[in-house]
């Protein structure tokens, strides 16, 4: 063992044996934004064997405030985040095998990436992908660590298929708002706090110290100094469609996935979401972003050069573009 990891191996819960295990483990990281870059750097510096990074986006100036690994040069070159991250991570630790995928993650292209993975870390920005991850990890029996943050608040939970409640159970026990960084902003310490919880749990799993894992959902607000640890073990349900006795893995079924289509001749993209949208709650989140109009049936927002019309049944029309990719990004920015 060289001196590179000497301070880490001095920590008894890891030690030389734990470091050897780390060097043989493969982590799948989905999302390479604020949570993703910080998680990636910590894993690579810790000396894992292989890291697979998935992200669909490219580096923009607004990312640099909180997304580690990226530089102004990456922004000027409009590098895909996965590629920019791989370049930087390779410079940090060339002994780690890093695989980068520039793609819009879905139930089809994610499937082969779950083979031979020891841990999945959530660094995504929307619940469509999280539900897909939730189903896949239970199919493949791979642990995963959920994390989210917005404003000064964040949360994290560790899912062990077969032992803990899954994301479906979690959200029924502790519903999460659809607030996003684009509508509420975010401060960098919030990101770092979530990553600290995620990375600590990740190290425990990778060195196989399962008895030390935190069983509670942790939530916090760094600005108002509030921390809560919520015991949700009893939230696990035998009838759950993902982790119950007879799983059907609903997020992997086509009819339950968010669908997008161009409306011919209208310069509009229609998005059919998978959940009901509370218009009153959405209005409060979006009112500061542009001119807002609302009736009992729908919500209309003038945002940048677009008009976004949100229906209560989850359907959204994005006027002003015929690009599925542009519409998708706007949808996740505004709807969450």
Cα 124 to Cα 81, 306, 315: the distances in Å are 13, 24, 22
Domain that residue 242 falls in = 3-252
In angstroms, the CA 224 to CA 52 distance is 35
Residues 96 and 222 in one domain: yes
In angstroms, the CA 91 to CA 98 distance is 11
Half-sphere exposure in the Cβ direction for 239 (13 Å, CA): 1
What does the pLDDT read at residue 256?
A: 66
Helix axes 81-92, 34-46, angle to 10 degrees: 30
In angstroms, the CA 258 to CA 243 distance is 22
Q: Is 291 exposed, middle or buried (0-12, 13-18, 19+ CB in 10 A)?
A: exposed
CATH label of the domain that carries residue 320: 3.30.310.10
Picking from 38, 63, 19, 54, the residue whose alpha carbon sits closest to that of residue 206 is 19
Reported as a single tens digit per residue, the pLDDT across 62-84 is 889 889 999 999 989 889 999 99
Residues 111 and 130 in one domain: yes
In contact, 299 and 279? CB cutoff 8 Å: yes
In angstroms, the CA 165 to CA 236 distance is 4
Instruction: List beta partners, residue 311.
Output: 298
Residues 245 and 307 in one domain: no
- Number of structural domains (the chain) is 2
Residues 328 and 275 in one domain: yes
Residues 293 and 330 in one domain: yes
Low-confidence ranges of the chain (pLDDT < 50): 1
Residues 278 and 241 in one domain: no
Please state the φ and ψ torsions of residue 92, each to the nearest 5 degrees: -75, -45
Residues 36 and 157 in one domain: yes
Identify the three-state secondary structure at position 93. Answer: coil
Reported as a single tens digit per residue, the pLDDT across 127-152 is 888 989 999 999 999 999 999 988 89
In angstroms, the CA 98 to CA 81 distance is 14
Residues 235 and 138 in one domain: yes
CATH label of the domain that carries residue 230: 3.40.50.720
Residues 278 and 234 in one domain: no
Residues 281 and 179 in one domain: no
Domain-terminating residue out of 212, 227, 252: 252
Residues 221 and 273 in one domain: no
Domain-terminating residue out of 232, 252, 272: 252
Residues 272 and 223 in one domain: no
Domain-terminating residue out of 252, 276, 306: 252
In contact, 152 and 222? CB cutoff 8 Å: yes
In terms of phi and psi (left: phi > 0; alpha: psi -120 to 50; beta: otherwise), the region of 64 is: alpha
What does the pLDDT read at residue 1?
A: 47
In contact, 60 and 52? CB cutoff 8 Å: no
């Amino acid at each position: 063992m060289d001196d590179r990891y000497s301070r880490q191996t001095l920590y008894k819960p890891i030690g030389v044996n734990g470091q050897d295990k780390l060097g043989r483990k493969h982590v799948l990281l989905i999302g390479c934004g604020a949570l993703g870059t910080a998680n990636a750097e910590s894993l690579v510096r810790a000396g894992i064997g292989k890291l697979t990074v998935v992200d669909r986006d490219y580096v923009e100036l607004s990312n640099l405030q909180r997304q580690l690994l990226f530089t102004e040069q990456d922004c000027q070159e409009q590098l895909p985040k996965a590629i920019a991250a791989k370049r930087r991570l390779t410079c940090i630790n060339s002994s780690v095998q890093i695989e980068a995928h520039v793609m819009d993650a879905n139930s089809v292209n994610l499937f082969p990436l779950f083979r031979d993975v020891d841990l999945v870390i959530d660094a995504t920005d929307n619940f469509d992908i999280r539900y897909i991850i939730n189903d896949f990890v239970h199919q493949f029996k791979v642990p995963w660590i959920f994390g989210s943050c917005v404003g000064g608040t964040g949360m994290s939970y560790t899912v062990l298929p077969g032992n803990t409640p899954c994301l479906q159970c979690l959200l029924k026990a502790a519903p999460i708002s659809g607030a996003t960084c684009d509508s509420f902003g975010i401060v960098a310490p919030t990101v770092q706090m979530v990553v600290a919880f995620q990375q600590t749990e990740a190290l425990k799993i990778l060195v196989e110290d399962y008895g030390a894992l935190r069983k509670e959902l942790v939530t916090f607000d760094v600005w108002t100094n509030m921390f809560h640890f919520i015991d949700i073990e009893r939230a696990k349900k035998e009838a759950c469609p993902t982790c119950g006795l007879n799983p059907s893995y609903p997020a992997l079924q086509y009819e339950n996935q968010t669908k997008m289509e161009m409306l011919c001749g209208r310069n509009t993209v229609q998005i059919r979401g998978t959940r009901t949208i509370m218009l009153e709650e959405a209005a409060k989140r979006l009112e500061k972003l542009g001119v807002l109009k609302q009736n009992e049936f729908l919500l209309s927002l003038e945002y940048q050069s677009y008009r976004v019309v949100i229906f209560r049944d989850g359907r959204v029309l994005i006027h002003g573009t015929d690009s599925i990719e542009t519409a998708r990004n706007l949808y996740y920015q505004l709807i969450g």
